[in-house]
Chains A and B, each alone.
Chain A
Amino acid sequence: MTVLLSGRDAYKDELANLAETEGRIICLETDLGGKNHPFQKRHPERFLNLGIAELAGVDIAAGLAEAGYVPFISTFAAFAALRASESVKLSMGYMGKNVKVVAAYGGVSGGWFGTTHHALEDIAVMQSFQNIRIACPHGEEETRRVIREAAASAEPYYIRLSRNDKFDSLYRSSDSSCRELLIEDGKLTKSLSQLCLISVGEQATELCKELAKEYESITHAHACYVDSQILQTYVEPLKALSNRFLVVEEHRATGGTASYLALLMPKHQVYSHSCGDQWPTYGGSHTEVLADLGFGLEPLRRQIQTILGGTDGI
Chain B
Amino acid sequence: MQNIPVYSEWEMPISEIADKAKEARKLIIDMAATPTGCHIGGSLSVIDLLVVALAKYGHDPNSSVILSKGHAAAALYASLYVYGRLSSNPAESYGKQGSLYTGHPNHKLPGIPFATGSLGHGVAYAAGWALAQKLKGTGGLGIVIGGDGELQEGLCWETAQIAQAQSLSNFVYIIDCNGGQNDGMIEDISPIRNVKERFKAFGFAVKEIDGHRHEDIFEAIAPDRDKPLAILARTIKGKGVAALEGHPDSHYAKIPANLAKRWKVSLT
Contact = CB atoms under 8 A, between A and B. Distances in A.
A and B interact: yes
Interface of A: 26, 45-46, 48, 50-51, 53, 55-69, 86-87, 90-91, 94-95
A63 B124 contact: yes
Contact of B127 (A51, A63, A95): A63
A67 B135 CA distance: 10
Contacts of B113: 66
Interface stretch (B11-19, B154-162, B186-194): B154-162
B88 interface: no
Interface residues of B, number: 30
B166 A86 contact: no
Which secondary structure dominates where chain B touches chain A?
A: helix
A287 B21 CA distance: 64
B135 A90 contact: no
B145 interface: no
Interface in B134-171: 135-136, 142, 154-155, 158-159, 161-162, 165-166
Contacts of A69: 132, 135
B145 to A, nearest CB: 15
B125 interface: yes
Nearest to B138: A67
B203 to A, nearest CB: 13
A196 to B, nearest CB: 41
Contacts of A64: 128-129, 131-132
A90 B124 CA distance: 13
Instruction: Identify the 7 closest CB pairs spanning chains A and B, nearest first.
Output: A63-B128, A67-B132, A59-B124, A60-B128, A63-B129, A56-B124, A56-B158
Of B125, B142, B155, B159, the most chain A CB neighbours within 10 A belong to: B125
Of B124, B158, B166, the most chain A CB neighbours within 10 A belong to: B124
Contacts of A53: 158-159, 161-162
B146 to A, nearest CB: 13
Contacts of B20: none
Contacts of B129: 63-64, 66-67
Of A63, A66, A68, the most chain B CB neighbours within 10 A belong to: A63
Contact of B115 (A46, A55, A56, A94): A94
Nearest to A96: B107
Interface in B77-123: 107, 113-115, 118, 120-121, 123
A154 to B, nearest CB: 16
Contacts of B154: 55
B130 interface: yes
Given A62-B114, A86-B118, A95-B114, A55 B124 contact: yes
B133 interface: yes
B126 interface: yes
B53 to A, nearest CB: 17
A214 to B, nearest CB: 50
Nearest to A54: B158
A66 B124 contact: no
A26 B125 contact: no
Contact of A91 (B120, B125, B127, B165): B125
B106 to A, nearest CB: 10
Contacts of B130: 63
Given A51-B162, A64-B132, 14 more contacts: A48-B131, A53-B161, A53-B162, A55-B120, A55-B154, A56-B124, A56-B127, A60-B124, A60-B125, A62-B114, A63-B129, A87-B121, A90-B115, A95-B114
A45 B135 CA distance: 8
Nearest to B122: A59
A48 B166 CA distance: 9
A56 B132 contact: no
Contacts of B155: 55-56, 59
B162 A68 contact: no
Contacts of A67: 128-129, 132-133, 136
A56 B159 contact: yes
A91 B107 CA distance: 11
Contacts of B166: 48, 50
